[in-house]
Structure 1
Amino acid sequence: MTTLARLTAGGLSIGVELPLDNDWSPTGEQRRRAAGRPFGVPDIGHHAQLARLADRLGYRALWVRDVPVYDPGFGDAAQVFEVFTYLGYLAGVTERILLGTAAVVLPLREPVLTLKSAASVDHLSRGRLLLGVASGDRPVEYPLFGRDFEQRGARFREQIAMLRQWRAPQWPEEIEVLPRPLAPLPLLVAGLAQQTPEWVGSHMDGWLAYPGTPEDHARRAAQWRQAAGDKPYVSFIHLDLAEHPDALLQRHRFGARVGRNGLIAELHAMHEAGVQHIGLHFRRNQRPLEETMQEIAEFVLPQFHAAQPAVRHEASAS
């Protein structure tokens, strides 16, 4: 079974987005201030424990973002760690959960090292990598890397071609980048990456869509299906899981506060709108994350997940 097939098995699957903290809740904000951390810099003290918990409880994927530098004006450092280094670590502390990037900013990176880093994670995780990619949307980053912001669309296309061919066309025939992935890497795009919908639908394997309501997703998924057919459509929810299971849904930016029964209804609506995987982002969550993750695993995941698909190891990671 391919990595993308594992991601979408059962119709709709549920994962989590790192960092696994809740700094954007009122109590989390108090802890952040007491610790002297700038806004947007997460508490990662329990990240490994919570990643293992997500794996053990049956969440389908762990998603990490690529934020090379912290910009106080933007106020979001993601999970702090460099994305491929971190995925290599997570590959070692988890067993089954898929490992996704949401998303690597290709034009900022040295292309040959991107190939080597991605394949290394794929081997170390025994084929669990989902490579989400993007062109980037923070103009401040490009001058720091000495890259041309206006040319990022063209650089993105060049690097996608390298990821598909695992080489650049001008290389000597005997030159290789090792290791090679265990299987062709699934490439999911965040947004349009400065491309046309037709190009993205033809060249990419899935779409990482911005959070939204079921109505938003119905419109976007229809556009994606027109360009890409039945390729996976993935999105995220900034979730604050209320303690009462019947607490009504109250929308906030990129997500909602809701009890577990309302969450189940929202996820069914997302699935009907065309979403095939949802990553849960917990930074607004007011309850302890371990408690929240366990409740979702007990009551929500069984509503959507088929039996966890068998993992076929195509090569040893050693």
Structure 2
Amino acid sequence: MSIEKLTQGGFSIGLELPLDNDWSAEGDTRRRQDGRPFGVPDMQRHAELIRLADQLGFRAAWVRDVPLYDPKFGDAAQVFETFTYLGYLASHTQQILLGTAAVVLPLRQPWLVRKAAATVQALSGDRLLLGVASGDRPSEYPIFGVEFPGRGERFRDAVSVLRGDQDGVLASGMEVLPKAPQPPLLVAGLAQQSPAWVGEHMQGWLAYPGTPQDHIKRVELWRRVAGDKPYISFIHLDLVGDVDAPIRRHHFGISTGINGLIKELEAMKSAGVDHIGLHVRRNQRPLDDTFHDIGERVLPLFHPQ
């Protein structure tokens, strides 16, 4: 199963898409020249870069679900519709897991989410990690005809559909096709639920970025309610060329050299984190160079062969 592969070896490293450094100084200049609003990445090289990430051995590629671009939030994520994009990524990769971080369930018809997930599972060869969420952008909900305060209840109902708990409503002979292994369900945050409910019904937790010290407290909570189910988080990374550059912390991440990144990842592992996705939109150096540095000098330390 994809969840077992994610945690193989006890700790793993992936990437959060889009694979663009549009939040760097050079990237912001390119964005202005292209006439793109802030937060709308240049997707021209995404196929080339995801193939490189797959070849280098990054464990997972995480795709956000942002139904509508809202300049007040300033982030269009990876631009494309989530499940359509995952199908495209599956066709360009062989090994890397494909995760959603996370599908906003209250804004989607849950039976169609289930079919879309089964489709990605079938086309990718059981590589989907289905992260789900209740959403946090109030401006989207009226457009979809959904009340923002009721998103927690809609989330629980959708999860029951995804888990097959409502299959009794199907008439004899009806089923969701294609037939594929049910993807593991992971939750972003608490999705308006109690920690106990999340620990019981979810197979992993997508925790917000933080320092290793932040994660120690969160991991303790997760272990109490969910046992050894995977705990996953993210780092906004700017990997500089000086291998010995010290760790400088910024919002949601760090700027550092290779040795500082290794130190940070070791601290995350010691804190109980099972997987880290690297977000590279702040990265100042060319992404090809950064991916090769991590793939050749960092991944072998954490991904046993």
What TM-score results when the alignment is normalised by the length of structure 2?
A: 0.98
Structure 2: gaps spanning 5 or more residues: none
Deviation (angstroms), 1:148: 1.5
How far residue 113 of structure 1 moved from its aligned partner, in angstroms, is: 0.9
1:9-57 CA-to-partner distances (Å, cap 9, x unmatched) read: 1111000011000011111111111111000000111000000000000
Aligned counterpart, 2:247: 249
Structure 1 residue 110: Cα displacement: 1.0
Give 1:23's aligned amino acid: D
Gaps of at least 5 residues in structure 1 are: 308-318
Shift of 1:171: 2.9
- In 2, distance between residues paired with 1:297 and 1:88? 24
Given the alignment of the two structures, is residue 105 of structure 1 paired with residue 104 of structure 2, yes or no?
A: yes
What one-letter code is carried by the residue in structure 2 that aligns with 1:16? L
Q: Residues 29-48 of structure 1: matches in 2 within 5 Å?
A: 29-48=28-47
Deviation at 1:193, TM superposition (A): 0.4
Match of 2:51 in 1: 52
Task: Give the equivalent residue in structure 1 for 2:90.
Answer: 91
Structure 2 equivalent of residue 227 of structure 1: 225
- Whether the aligned pair in 1 keeps the contact of 2:97 and 2:128 (CA below 8 Å) is yes
Of residues 200, 207, 210, the one that matches 1:209 is: 207
Deviation readout 1:86-105 (Å, 9 max, x if unpaired): 00000101001000000000
Matches within 5 A, 1:182-221: 183-221=181-219
2:118/2:182 contact within 8 Å kept: no
Please state whether the residue corresponding to 1:216 is helix, strand or coil.
helix
What amino acid is aligned across from residue 106 of structure 2 in structure 1?
A: P
CA contact 2:205–2:232 (8 Å) conserved in 1: yes
For each residue in 1:211-237, what CA deviation from the matched residue of structure 2 results, as whole angstroms up to 9, or x when unmatched?
A: 000000001011100110000000000
Equivalent residue for 2:297?
Answer: 299
- Give the C-alpha shift of residue 306 in structure 1: 1.2
In structure 1, the residue corresponding to 2:15 is in which secondary structure?
strand
Q: Structure 1 CA distance, aligned partners of 2:278 and 2:286?
A: 15
Alignment check: 8 A CA contact 1:167 1:177 kept:
no
Question: Between Structure 1 and Structure 2, how many residues are aligned?
Answer: 305
Q: Is the 8 A contact 1:101 1:132 kept in 2?
A: yes
Give the 3-state SS of the residue equivalent to 1:130 in structure 2.
strand
Q: Distance in 2 between matches of 1:27 and 1:261?
A: 24
Give the secondary structure class of the aligned counterpart of 2:138: coil
CA distance in 1, matches of 2:166, 2:111: 8
Shift in Å at residue 164 of structure 1? Answer: 1.0
Matches within 5 A, 1:39-188: 39-165=38-164, 167-181=166-180, 183-188=181-186
Q: CA deviation at 1:175?
A: 1.9
Cα offset, 1:184, TM superposition? 2.4
- C-alpha contact 2:40 2:75 (8 A) present in aligned 1: yes
Q: Note if 1:5 corresponds to 2:19.
A: no
2:111–2:162 CA contact under 8 A, matched in 1: no
Task: Could you list the structure 1 runs, at least 4 aligned residues long, displaced by more than 4 angstroms after superposition.
Answer: none
Q: 1:17·1:279 contact (CA, 8 Å) conserved in 2? A: yes
Distance 1:169 1:46 in 2: 45
Name the aligned partner's letter for residue 98 of structure 2. L
Cα distance in 2 for partners of 1:114, 1:159 equals 9
2:280 maps to 282
Work out whether 1:265 is the aligned partner of 2:263. yes
Shift of 1:173: 3.3
Cα drift, residue 149 of structure 1: 1.2
The two structures have a TM-score, normalised by structure 1, of 0.94
* Counterpart check, 1:28 vs 2:34: no
How far the C-alpha of 1:172 sits from its partner, in A, is 2.1
User: What are the superposed Cα offsets for residues 222-280 of structure 1, whole Å, 9 maximum, x if unpaired?
Assistant: 11001100000000000000100000000000001000001000000000001010000
The Cα shift of 1:167 comes to 4.5
2: CA distance, partners of 1:191 / 1:173 = 37
